[in-house]
């Protein structure tokens, strides 16, 4: 039956060059050092540990029940990735615009998450058997699968690499309430994913077992506007508590390019090779919140923060998990399509602020 390995190598590195206030693994901080009214430039650097939760992939099937018609989709590939974050941003001296003070900032980010995972579908008991379908059906549907019938299984080795780039412009304007700023700006993000999977079927004493490779490039662009509020309150001598919240509306555009190759189909059939391109677009909301504690050491400020980010709409792959033959419709996904789910991340770290 289906078993998931407990060993998963997870590594990630995030480089964040903060150019605006955004909702990803790098963002704006509502700290006192960026209060409207400054006459100097301010540079902000930060680093921390981060985790991101993305949609789960299901590429294989475990066929069970009478005549093996009950389709259980296998979770292949990790959906919870961990890593690190590094950020930088610069804020310009305040300007008098229309009788009011405005501070402009430029922020940007680059994030990198990587995970390797092994998943096993085991059919050694003979009560089930395991399959991996191609991207879509062809003229010989009965043979379009890498299949383990009995007394073996399929091992899925996956590598999921996710990159996030961000650049944005932000403006801060003081509100009548002391220590509070109104934030607004323009933001661009690009979420890119490379996914590689090798599926190896094993069946003792059988020549029908084979191997298949699947990989995809999944690129998503987010362009939109955001608004928010940050609040700075003194809680002790030279210690400031900052609260920051932002929300934005974005246009999302997604491009998918998938490739499948099987070196040997079941029943000694020839190899199969397929490619598939898909695209999708929609409107997305992104929200972010942060709590930051700042300690001042003369002109230098040191901070510790906790922040979270939510994206209402990130792409996911609904992979083909069923065939017309030899399996009648018993569940699963017919053909490979694009879908969407929400995603979230959180970061715990610290930073410094340097005026000049």
pLDDT at 206 over 80: no
Q: What is the mean pLDDT of residues 343-356?
A: 91
Q: Which residues of 99-109 are buried (b: 16+ CB within 10 A; e: fewer)?
A: eeebbbbbbbb
Strand partners, 255: 219, 279
Rounded to whole angstroms, the Cα distance separating 131 from 329 reads 15
Which has the minimum average pLDDT: 3-12, 257-266, 332-341?
3-12
Tokens of 6: 């407990």
Condensed to tens digits (0 to 9), the pLDDT of residues 20-40 reads 333 333 333 434 344 444 568
> How many other CB atoms are found less than 10 A from the CB of residue 163?
17
Give the chain's mean pLDDT. Answer: 78
Report residue 63's pLDDT band, with 50, 70 and 90 as the boundaries: low
Q: Residue 331 has what pLDDT?
A: 52
Q: Residue 208 has what pLDDT?
A: 57
Condensed to tens digits (0 to 9), the pLDDT of residues 237-289 reads 999 999 999 999 999 999 999 998 887 655 345 677 889 999 999 999 999 99
Residue 290 exposed, middle or buried by CB count within 10 Å (0-12, 13-18, 19+): buried
Report residue 291's pLDDT band, with 50, 70 and 90 as the boundaries: very high
Query: Rounded to an integer, what is the distance from CA 178 to the centroid of its chain?
Result: 37
Helix (H, G, I), strand (E, B) or coil at 267: helix
């289906």: which residue's tokens?
A: 2
Strands (DSSP E) along the chain, which ranges?
2-15, 42-53, 58-64, 70-75, 80-91, 95-97, 100-122, 129-132, 146-148, 153-174, 180-202, 211-236, 239-262, 272-297, 300-318, 337-355
Q: Residue 145 has what pLDDT?
A: 57
Q: Residue 247 has what pLDDT?
A: 96
Strand partners, 79: none
Rounded to whole angstroms, the Cα distance separating 44 from 106 reads 11
Helix (H, G, I), strand (E, B) or coil at 121: strand
Q: Residue 275 has what pLDDT?
A: 92
Taking the CA atoms of residue 76, residue 79, residue 85 and residue 90 in that order, the dihedral angle to the nearest 10 degrees is 120
* Structural domain total, the chain: 1
Whether pTM > 0.85 for this model: the answer is no
Query: CA of 37: how far to CAs of 106, 293, 324, in Å?
Result: 17, 21, 68
| Whether 277 contacts 256, CB under 8 Å | yes
Q: Residue 151 has what pLDDT?
A: 56
Q: What is the mean pLDDT of residues 188-192?
A: 93
Query: Rounded to an integer, what is the distance from CA 184 to the centroid of its chain?
Result: 24
Which range marks the domain in which residue 134 is found? 2-355
Condensed to tens digits (0 to 9), the pLDDT of residues 39-57 reads 689 999 999 999 999 998 8
> How many other CB atoms are found less than 10 A from the CB of residue 234?
13
Which has the minimum average pLDDT: 7-11, 180-184, 297-301?
7-11
Strand partners, 102: 95
């Amino acid at each position: 039956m289906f078993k998931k390995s407990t060993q998963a190598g997870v590594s990630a590195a995030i480089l964040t060059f903060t150019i605006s206030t955004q909702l990803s693994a790098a963002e704006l901080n509502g700290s006192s050092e960026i209060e409207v009214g400054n006459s100097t430039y301010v540079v902000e650097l930060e680093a921390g540990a981060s985790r991101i939760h993305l949609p789960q992939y299901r590429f294989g099937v475990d066929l069970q029940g009478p005549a093996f018609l009950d389709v259980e989709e296998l979770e292949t590939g990790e959906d919870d990735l961990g890593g690190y974050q590094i950020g930088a941003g610069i804020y310009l001296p305040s300007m008098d615009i229309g009788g009011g003070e405005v501070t402009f900032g430029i922020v940007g980010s680059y994030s990198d998450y990587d995970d390797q995972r092994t998943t096993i579908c085991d059919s050694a008991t003979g009560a089930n058997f395991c399959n991996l379908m191609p991207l879509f059906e062809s003229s010989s549907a009965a043979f379009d699968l890498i299949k383990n019938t009995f007394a073996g299984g399929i091992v899925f080795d996956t590598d999921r690499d996710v990159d996030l780039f961000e650049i944005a412009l932000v403006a801060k304007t003081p509100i009548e309430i002391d220590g509070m700023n109104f934030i607004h700006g323009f933001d661009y993000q690009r979420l890119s994913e490379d996914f590689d999977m090798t599926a190896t079927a094993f069946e003792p004493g059988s020549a029908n077992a084979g191997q298949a490779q699947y990989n995809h490039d999944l690129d998503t662009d987010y362009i939109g506007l955001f608004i928010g509020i940050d609040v700075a309150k003194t809680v002790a001598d030279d210690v400031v508590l900052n609260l920051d919240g932002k929300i934005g509306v974005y246009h999302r555009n997604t491009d998918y390019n998938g490739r499948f190759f099987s070196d040997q189909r079941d029943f000694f059939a020839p190899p199969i090779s397929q490619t598939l391109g898909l695209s999708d677009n929609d409107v997305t909301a992104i929200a972010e919140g942060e709590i930051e504690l700042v300690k001042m050491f003369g002109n230098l400020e040191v901070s510790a923060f906790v922040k979270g980010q939510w994206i209402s709409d990130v792409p996911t792959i609904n992979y083909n998990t069923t065939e017309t033959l030899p399996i009648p419709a018993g569940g699963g996904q017919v053909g490979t399509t694009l879908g969407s789910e929400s995603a979230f991340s959180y970061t715990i770290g610290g930073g410094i602020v340097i005026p000049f």
